[in-house]
Chains A and B, each alone.
Chain A
Amino acid sequence: MNILEVHNVSKSFKGVRAVDGVSLGLRQGDNLAIVGESGSGKTTLAKMIMGLITPDEGVIKAGRGTLQMVFQDPVGSLDPLWNVRSILKEALWHNRTLSGRQIEEKMASMLTKVGLSSGILGRFPHEFSGGERQRIAIARCLLACPRVLLLDEAVSALDTLVQKQITDLLKTLKQDLGLTYIFISHNLRLVRRFSDKIAVMHQGKIVEQGLMPAVLEAPQHPYTRQLLQAAFYTHL
């Protein structure tokens, strides 16, 4: 039983096919990595899955309210006029059973989990570094208790240590809560450690998808080979 189904979706911007006939199926507990060069349509695909962009063709079946997305641009995804408290609270807005204190506690513990101090609740986005903002965005997403989480370059702006910290947290959460991930990244080395399925996008199409070890060991498409070569054998 698939938790998310993408059937043959396409999207064009002014004649440019950003996403071109993509199909995906995701089961509960999957951890799918989407890799591909810049401009290959990864963000567009993610936004279509979230229902933020309507596809020109194709259908997407997903339980509404179960998906959350961490946006690629950590500057744009936090309202500059809101402090961290209000930003995080937005993720809990539908939950009316929580008392003010419980909300505060939840937010503080989530901040600690993503490696931030819980004392930053009163601060504004422009007071943070890009990596810190990205972690705030991740905290907001996790507070909303999604079942499927789309992470669009969510950890790319972070240093390797914090990257590991966040990916470890995501792995733990996945085990504890049975989450499903779509992990969009440029970083094949990170993806190899983190995800167990991979889809390779090239010029709006998924040129190859399958289990991580299978694709990495025996890439079928020339573009995948190129990508692997660039990632793992750069010294050549």
Chain B
Amino acid sequence: MNSAVKHRSRTQSAFAAFRASRVAMLCLWCLVFLYAMALGADFICPYSYQDEDRNFSYCPPTAIEFMDHGHWVRPFVYKRTMTFDAVHRRVYVVDRAVKYPLQFFKHGRLFSVDRPGRLYIWGADARGRDMFSRIWYGARISLSIGLLGVALSFAIGLLVGGIAGYYGGWVDGVLMRICEMFMMIPGFYLMLALRAAVPENFNSVQVYLSVVVILSLIGWASLARIIRGMALSLRERDYVLAAKTLGVPDIVIICKHILPQTISYSMATLMLTVSSYILAEAGLSVVGLGIQDPVPSWGNLLSDAMHIVPVIFAPWILLPGLFIFIAVMCFNVVGDSLRDAFDPV
């Protein structure tokens, strides 16, 4: 036998089919980029998420200048000062006499400018905090909360569904009634109700974790029901019976024979659920019940955009919405393509 022949399981061939899809790969790389930026926020962003300067409230995006009197020079930004115009609107005047050169690798940050200069490549929010920095710090929360929530709800959903389907009988009955209780209540209201149960005095980490738990509690039940249906038929397969006669413990059979068979369904659902959790977190935060200021998340950044006046004069505060859209869309495309790859029909 030729040892160079590669033996591929169905899963491996499915991933090969996935890789062949250009749009899906593009979205996957897009997600990788978002996560990398979120991870590297401390280094990439010029400011910390709570670094504020009230003199630069809603300062518009600052251009980085590369040319001075027709010559290439070290990148710099011009000084800006806030004044009010005739109708008492805030305007920022560019002072071409004062330049602040960009500092690279200073204080462990990729680029920054020395005070009193400020660098707002994507503009500033009401308190003069840098949107660019806040978006990438917010990505940490928004992108990780979806993943953690999904990890938790999948752990619960797969296990409960697997156990219910594998054992059947009264175990199945009890577990499915519990699932139905969770599925009866519309997701967002359940989320609000659960949020109400979270104590007021939680610090930001505790709030974060409680949001993760809340998210996972709304998603696990529907997954458990579907997995249960699959397990119900999978437990009749001869290889499951063979494992039983070999004395393999039930939990091992469930985890290694039953659940892996549901992978094509779970993988796709996983991606789609991440995106719905990112949206759910944004929903909670927009109404002020999620992650609390000053810690940024895409949801609570967007809650600033709930007022019409700032949106008109400082449209860049809508940027977090764009990122929510990109992340959600990428997860959906990747999820759909995964499903197609696993079920080519």
Contacts and interface: CB of A to CB of B under 8 A. Distances in A.
Interface of A: 47, 50-52, 65, 67-69, 71, 73, 76-81, 83, 90-91, 93-94, 117, 119-120, 122-124, 126-127, 137, 140, 144
Given A81-B11, A83-B7, A122-B7, A50 B238 contact: no
10 contacts: A47-B241, A51-B245, A77-B241, A79-B239, A81-B9, A83-B7, A90-B243, A124-B7, A140-B246, A144-B246
Given A76-B237, A81-B11, A124-B8, A119 B1 contact: yes
Contacts of A67: 245
Nearest to B12: A124
Interface in B1-56: 1, 3, 7-11
B200 to A, nearest CB: 48
A67 to B, nearest CB: 7
Contacts of B237: 76
Interface in B237-279: 237-239, 241-248, 252, 257, 260-261, 263
Given A71-B238, A73-B238, A122-B7, A81 B261 contact: yes
A76 B238 contact: yes
Nearest to A92: B246
A27 B239 CA distance: 28
A71 B242 contact: yes
Interface residues of B, number: 23
A108 to B, nearest CB: 13
A67 B252 CA distance: 20
Contacts of B248: 90, 93
Contacts, number: 65
Contacts of A93: 246-248, 252
B7 A123 contact: yes
Contact of A81 (B1, B10, B244): B10
Nearest to A52: B241
Most B-side CB within 10 Å, residue of A67, A93, A117, A140: A93
Nearest to B242: A77
A126 B7 CA distance: 10
Nearest to B263: A81
Given A79-B257, A93-B248, A117 B238 contact: no
B239 A127 contact: no
Contacts of B247: 65, 93-94
A60 to B, nearest CB: 14
Nearest to B260: A81
A89 B241 CA distance: 16
Contacts of A76: 237-239
A69 B245 contact: yes
A90 B248 CA distance: 8
B10 A126 contact: yes
A47 B261 CA distance: 23
Contact of B242 (A83, A117, A140): A140
Given A65-B247, A93-B248, A80 B242 contact: no
Nearest to A124: B9
Contacts of B239: 76-79
